[in-house]
Chain A
Amino acid sequence: MSEGIGARVLRKEDKRFITGKGRYTDDIIEPNQAYAAFVRSPHAHARIVSVDASAALAMEGVEIVLTGPELVADGIGNIICGWGVTSKDGSPMNMGAWSALATEKVRYVGDAVAIVVADSKAQAKLAAEVVVVTYEELPVVVGSVDALAPSAPKIHDNAPGNLIFDWEIGDLSPTDAALASAAHVTEMEITNNRLAPNPLEPRSAIATFNEAEDHYTLYTTSQNPHVARLVLSAFYNVAPEHKLRVIAPDVGGGFGAKIYIYPEEIACLWASMKSGRSVKWTSDRTEAFLTDAHGRDHVSTAKIGFDSDGKIVGLKVNTKANLGAYMSLFSSAVPTYLYATLLSGQYDIANIYCDVQAVYTNTVPVDAYRGAGRPEACYVIERIMETAAREMGMDPAELRAKNFVRSFPHQTPVIMAYDSGDFDANLKQAQEAADVAGFGARKAEAARRGKLRGMGYSNYIEACGIAPSAAVGSLGAGVGLWESAEVRVNPVGTIEILTGSHSHGQGHETTFAQIVAERFDLPTENIQIVHGDTDKVQFGMGTYGSRSGAVGMSAIVKAMDKVEAKVKKIAAHVLEAGEDDIVIEGGAVKVAGTDKQMLWHEVGLAAYTAHNIPEGMEPGLKESAFYDPTNFTFPAGCYICEVEVDPETGVTDVVQFVASDDFGTIINPMIVEGQVHGGIAQGIGQAMLENVVYDAAGQQLSASYMDYAMPRADDLPNYSVHHASTTCPGNPLGMKGCGEAGAIGSPPAVINAITDAIGNNNLSMPATPAAVWAALQDVSQKLAAE
């Protein structure tokens, strides 16, 4: 089947996106809609003395102005973190209260204090500016290390020392002993820079309360509308689930930032009830920088020990994770179970210990951003492996290969049990594609042009799917992480697939149709994917953690198994044959080895007319399934980056980037390559360009594209993308996931290449021209001193 698994089917959704016919939340217009604007704190930390909305309320077009105390009085609940993490000493994490509208204190610049609803957006914004909030400013802390200092201002009363939790994994004393006995120890301080997610479409919501029906509808930019409905109902008390419909229509990118339920969606729903109007809010870019959950922001020290043969004997890491002013939905899981569990990398390491202090600061909340914890882990292990190789005078690829895990399943000392992989194959494929053998000649040629050429590796492994439910439940997750699907075969034989996964750029309308086309040998044109609406799809856990393939598609497979069984039963009955002799191919359901057949749509019609189906069989052809995975999946690969540095300016040109990935089964290579390209672009962005910078007063210095450098086409190379795959044994399609790998694997490859070029390991992300130039000056000063 030309449109089945492995085919480069063009994306079905692109026609509407490319021609401007997508339907995003802000495109939706409700009758009688009003617009919301938020009064936001200009201070990073302050006590709210008073709020005076009288001038705003007197303005033309202003419907209502609502504040935190009214929200609390109406019983709207605090925003929660849905993953409980327990400290070393057994105590639960210290979650401070987060009200959708601040009540007594504001804790970061942008913290919402009031919502203004008016007839027009302009009126709402104007009115928001004249709401007079009197603040009593408090001392501010923005960095995780500073926030842990005894003198730091206290951000939440129930988090002494601003410590949310002090968590550990692995065994401390064997790790210390192993490091003490090591022939060589490499120690590094490693910072993972803070990033703003920057989806193309900013967040948006339009909420409608229908008083006559006592029912709410929320259109919003969500990666997981069912989870949004669940928390809006169960925790925020906006409305019970059966009286709340959440629709996430076309969504223009998420990268994690649209997983969470933010104050604005809650406030819009509540304000709709209070005002009797539909209430719409769409973030502008500045608001996005100020309020979308940021990513990363780790400060770590890492120590790795080797025996005299170069075998790793132990790894010890301490990480301070900045979670911002409040705990966002999955914030606690990111620097713990999604991070430290991957510190073993692709290596067989007997002893690992990591402890993590999660910290409150006066900054935007930090949560999952493309990769979520795994990029931070990969960066630690792959930076320190490359550095250790340099210190020991070994080839960095050889040092890695010496320590590769080669037998599966492999239980690491940090929870994960790797199920499959062939790390040698990825390394070899990448090395050949990168022409590693020719690097010396290229370096010499670059030197003749006055350029410093360097090469860096990253042999990443990550964990996708975020499951199984029982396992994540035992680790503190508040939800199960399965997925659901429903396969509806219509009487005319066309098929609708209802999925709890959500597509916001991933191309599910194409790839999900491909697996159905493969199974029933039908054109993808006959298959429609339905998602993103809690009234259509019963439940789903949404899309993040590269889970839609391995988990979402597996649910579809399970439902298709049931459909196939029923189709065969009907056909066997009508064609008077044995079920085992029925085959589905070429748009027909046939008795193998005969010319007896029903066309596919005839089976559909037979199921719905029910004139001639097996006795006792229910009419119709619709099946659903819930799929709970048996393990995480483990995409892995080898990335090799080659750069040229201009020593006069520090400008780095990424001249070659080779990726060899193991994603297991690939449904649509074109879409997978696109995911890898985008992921690497984000990784290069993190490594060389992007950085959220706060000043000491908690003001974001980088809150616009004038100062926050997003990667552009001319910052990026032509990628050389390859696959050397092993089948994932944990799910029916053998898939591992590809959505985040590029962003996880690429930053260390880039920094390893630049540090190789300049001969100085002391370089932090982002490696801007100024930073690279400064590192080069350190090298020349050292040389001069010698």
Chain B
Amino acid sequence: MYETNFHKAATAQEAAALLNASEDGKILAGGQTLIPTMKQRLADPTDVIDLSGAADLRGINISGDQVTIGAMVTHAEVAGHAALAALCPSISQLAANIGDPSVRHRGTIGGSLANNDPAADYPAAVLALNARIRTSLREIAADDYFEGMFTTALEDHEIITAISFTAPTQGGYGKFPNPASRYAMAGVFVAKSADGTVRVAVTGASEDGVHRHGGLEAALSADWSASAVDGVEISSDGLLSDLHGNAEYRANLIKVMTKRALG
């Protein structure tokens, strides 16, 4: 790891100010990507601004069918939150299967979304749930937030503060883990809202990161069932081919994981 200046912020606003003042600063949320990257000497930030002391970024709030999750809420907290599990079991189940126990107790939802790893789980949930990403500057709709692999709508000095969404009436997440990393090789989040709108988001499979799948959304809007998925053509165009599986395999996984997401 290269030398860096470490700061601990007490609030999101203080963190944003520190970030703004730094030459090439990085926000440290759970550190599950940043720290290994720094240890491999692949990242060399001048400043690291730790959010672990920022109390305003913590907590899960539920009001009716409205859910707000603080950016610094860990995967384990999401997985273990009883009221959230009752209202939106799909996101609890997703969180419970991220990484391993150590990752789940350090990694945070805000960190995951800010990093936007193309194989991370949360982006699929946030996009399918039509969530809103609250930041130190504004609120961004999920459809406007994800801009491809490791790329988001966040400005340089913008910090995610919370994620909010309306719980779907039905939803689920089907994940096929990479045998080595256990990131998603294909993860499909399906959600149906009270007004009948269906959103399907796919992570892990695409060269462009998380994306919605129009064909699957149309089929499931008409018929919320596994058999509806059978008829959908999943193109392998633009899907990843790597040593763990080619694009055709990933196209197959998208279909199978969609069916499994339906339960």
The answer to whether A binds B is yes
A interface residues with partner B (beta carbon < 8 Å)? 122, 125-126, 129, 286, 648-650, 689, 691, 693, 701-702, 705-710, 715, 768-770, 773-774
Mark interface residues in B182-198 (1 if CB within 8 Å of A CB, else 0). 01000000000000000
Mostly, the B contact residues are loop
Is the Cβ of A773 less than 8 Å from the Cβ of B249?
yes
15 pairs, CB–CB < 8 Å, chain A vs chain B: A122-B1, A122-B3, A126-B2, A129-B41, A648-B256, A649-B176, A650-B249, A691-B243, A707-B243, A709-B179, A768-B179, A768-B245, A769-B245, A770-B244, A774-B249
A773-B179 contact in complex given A702-B243, A707-B243, C-beta closer than 8 Å:
no
**A710 CA to B180 CA, complexed, in Å:** 7
Is the Cβ of A125 less than 8 Å from the Cβ of B180?
no
**A707 CA to B183 CA, complexed, in Å:** 10
**A773 CA to B3 CA, complexed, in Å:** 46
Closest chain A residue to B243, Cβ basis: A693
Closest chain B residue to A126, Cβ basis: B2
Residues on B with beta carbons closer than 8 Å to the beta carbon of A691 = 243
Give 7 closest A-B pairs by Cβ, nearest first: A770-B245, A709-B180, A709-B179, A706-B181, A770-B249, A648-B256, A693-B243
Residues on B with beta carbons closer than 8 Å to the beta carbon of A709 = 179-180
A-contacting residues, B231-262, CB 8 Å: 242-246, 249, 252-253, 256
Whether, in the assembled complex, B40 has its beta carbon less than 8 Å from a beta carbon of chain A, the answer is yes
Is the Cβ of A286 less than 8 Å from the Cβ of B256?
no
* Most-contacted residue by chain A among B40, B249, B253 (CB, 10 A): B249
Is the Cβ of B179 less than 8 Å from the Cβ of A689?
yes
**A286 CA to B41 CA, complexed, in Å:** 11
Is the Cβ of B180 less than 8 Å from the Cβ of A707?
yes
**Distance between A9 CB and nearest chain B CB, rounded to angstroms:** 33
- A705: which of B3, B180, B253, B256 is its contact (CB, 8 Å)? B180
Residues on B with beta carbons closer than 8 Å to the beta carbon of A649 = 176, 252-253, 256
* Most-contacted residue by chain B among A702, A715, A769 (CB, 10 A): A769
**Distance between A701 CB and nearest chain B CB, rounded to angstroms:** 6
**A709 CA to B256 CA, complexed, in Å:** 23
B interface residues with partner A (beta carbon < 8 Å)? 1-3, 40-41, 176, 179-181, 183, 242-246, 249, 252-253, 256
Closest chain B residue to A708, Cβ basis: B180
Residues on A with beta carbons closer than 8 Å to the beta carbon of B183 = 706
Is the Cβ of B181 less than 8 Å from the Cβ of A707?
yes
Closest chain A residue to B186, Cβ basis: A649
**A693 CA to B1 CA, complexed, in Å:** 27
Residues on A with beta carbons closer than 8 Å to the beta carbon of B176 = 649, 769
Residues on B with beta carbons closer than 8 Å to the beta carbon of A705 = 180-181
**Distance between B82 CB and nearest chain A CB, rounded to angstroms:** 26
Residues on B with beta carbons closer than 8 Å to the beta carbon of A648 = 252, 256
Is the Cβ of B181 less than 8 Å from the Cβ of A125?
no
Is the Cβ of B243 less than 8 Å from the Cβ of A701?
yes
**A715 CA to B40 CA, complexed, in Å:** 28
Residues on B with beta carbons closer than 8 Å to the beta carbon of A650 = 249
Residues on B with beta carbons closer than 8 Å to the beta carbon of A689 = 179-180
**A768 CA to B3 CA, complexed, in Å:** 40
**A122 CA to B39 CA, complexed, in Å:** 11
Residues on B with beta carbons closer than 8 Å to the beta carbon of A129 = 41
Is the Cβ of B246 less than 8 Å from the Cβ of A770?
yes
Residues on B with beta carbons closer than 8 Å to the beta carbon of A769 = 176, 179, 245
New contact pairs (9) apart from A709-B180, A773-B252, CB-CB < 8 Å = A125-B41, A126-B2, A286-B40, A649-B256, A706-B180, A706-B183, A709-B179, A710-B180, A770-B244
**A768 CA to B253 CA, complexed, in Å:** 14
**A773 CA to B251 CA, complexed, in Å:** 12
**Distance between A781 CB and nearest chain B CB, rounded to angstroms:** 12
Residues on A with beta carbons closer than 8 Å to the beta carbon of B244 = 707, 768, 770
**Distance between B117 CB and nearest chain A CB, rounded to angstroms:** 11
**A286 CA to B42 CA, complexed, in Å:** 12
**A769 CA to B2 CA, complexed, in Å:** 38
**A286 CA to B231 CA, complexed, in Å:** 45
**A702 CA to B245 CA, complexed, in Å:** 14
Residues on B with beta carbons closer than 8 Å to the beta carbon of A715 = 179
**A110 CA to B40 CA, complexed, in Å:** 15
**Distance between B48 CB and nearest chain A CB, rounded to angstroms:** 16
Residues on A with beta carbons closer than 8 Å to the beta carbon of B3 = 122
Closest chain A residue to B183, Cβ basis: A706
Residues on A with beta carbons closer than 8 Å to the beta carbon of B1 = 122
Closest chain A residue to B249, Cβ basis: A770
Residues on A with beta carbons closer than 8 Å to the beta carbon of B246 = 770
**Distance between A60 CB and nearest chain B CB, rounded to angstroms:** 12
Residues on A with beta carbons closer than 8 Å to the beta carbon of B41 = 125, 129
Closest chain B residue to A648, Cβ basis: B256
Closest chain A residue to B2, Cβ basis: A126
**Distance between A306 CB and nearest chain B CB, rounded to angstroms:** 37
Closest chain A residue to B39, Cβ basis: A284
**Distance between A650 CB and nearest chain B CB, rounded to angstroms:** 8
**Distance between A219 CB and nearest chain B CB, rounded to angstroms:** 25
**Distance between A340 CB and nearest chain B CB, rounded to angstroms:** 30
**A693 CA to B242 CA, complexed, in Å:** 11
Residues on B with beta carbons closer than 8 Å to the beta carbon of A286 = 40
**A126 CA to B2 CA, complexed, in Å:** 8
**Distance between B149 CB and nearest chain A CB, rounded to angstroms:** 15
**A689 CA to B180 CA, complexed, in Å:** 8
**A693 CA to B243 CA, complexed, in Å:** 8
**Distance between A178 CB and nearest chain B CB, rounded to angstroms:** 41
**A774 CA to B256 CA, complexed, in Å:** 15
**A701 CA to B3 CA, complexed, in Å:** 28
